[in-house]
Amino acid sequence: SAAIVIEDLIKCVNFAAEKHKNQRRKNPEKIPYINHPIGVAFILTNEAKITDVSVLHAALLHDTVEDTDTSFEEIENLFGKTVRGIVEEVTDDKTLPSAERKRLQIVHAPDSSFEAKLVKLADKLYNLRDLEKSAPEGWSEQRIQEYFEWSRKVVDGLRGTNVAMEQSLDEIFKKRNVI
Ligand code: NDP
Ligand code: ZN
């Protein structure tokens, strides 16, 4: 029922908030990290018009395993196998060097499930909007431009998934002259 869906989503946002409680975003404003997963979920409901609750759970949880002590088992126990599977698809292997992780995101994008592609598109859209607002400390203009160019390559492997998000991303790439 609607009440159970709401209860589960609040449980999920609370779990993510506790896991990310000591983290901040890389922008100079040092925004609490939890603003990002909540914002990614909001892009999915508000702009992409997604109502699949598993996708919204995965959006809220998408950086918990990558960036906190959260395990996939914990996610499965609390939120089920479907959510665990999507979170696994959007989690980078942190034992790999970061250049290799970035390369694998480009390679794996086209093979992702529809649900994982939605989370990946919303994640890229949120991060590029963040970069448009302000540069993370220590990032040169060249590094920012390279991030836009890499994101474009990942997004190219995610196309045919959601018109609204892909249009917003294309406008951002156009503004930045990323072909
Ligand atoms: P990333 O390039 O991976 O940093 C970007 C990530 O940080 C985003 O994907 C996002 O991930 C998160 N993030 C947090 N706050 C913000 C924000 N305000 N705006 C946008 N993203 C934010 O950092 P790494 O430290 O992993 O960098 C490693 C890579 O960077 C290397 O592979 C190399 O290619 C490149 N590099 C380039 C340099 C250059 O001068 N050109 C110099 C050094 C490195 P999430 O969604 O998970 O939060
Ligand atoms: Zn993210």
Give tens-digit pLDDT for 34-48: 999 999 999 999 999
pLDDT score for 7: 97
Q: What pLDDT, in 10s, does the model give residues 103-142?
A: 999 999 999 999 999 999 999 999 999 999 999 999 999 9
pLDDT score for 144: 97
pLDDT score for 179: 81
> Which string of DSSP letters, residue by residue, matches 46-90?
IIS----HHHHHHHHHTTHHHHSS--HHHHHHHH-HHHHHHHHHT
Shortest-distance atom of ligand 1 to CA 136: 18
Chain centre distance of CA 162 = 15
Residue 82 scores a pLDDT above 90: yes
d(CA 141, CA 150): 14
Percent of the chain with pLDDT over 90: 99
Residue 53 scores a pLDDT above 90: yes
Q: What pLDDT, in 10s, does the model give residues 154-172?
A: 999 999 999 999 999 999 9
Our mutation pick for probing the ligand 1 site, out of 26, 38, 40, 145, counting the most ligand atoms within 8 A of Cβ, is 26
66 an active-site residue? yes
Could you tell me if the CB of 157 is within 6 A of ligand 1?
no
170 an active-site residue? no
Q: What's the ipTM?
A: 0.93
Q: What integer is the mean pLDDT of 4-10?
A: 97
Q: What integer is the mean pLDDT of 9-34?
A: 98
Q: pTM of the predicted model, to two decimals?
A: 0.97
Contact 76, 61 (CB under 8 A): no
Our mutation pick for probing the ligand 1 site, out of 98, 120, 155, counting the most ligand atoms within 8 A of Cβ, is 98
Of the pLDDT bands very low, low, confident and very high (cuts 50, 70, 90), residue 12 is very high
Ligand nearest to the CA of 39: 2
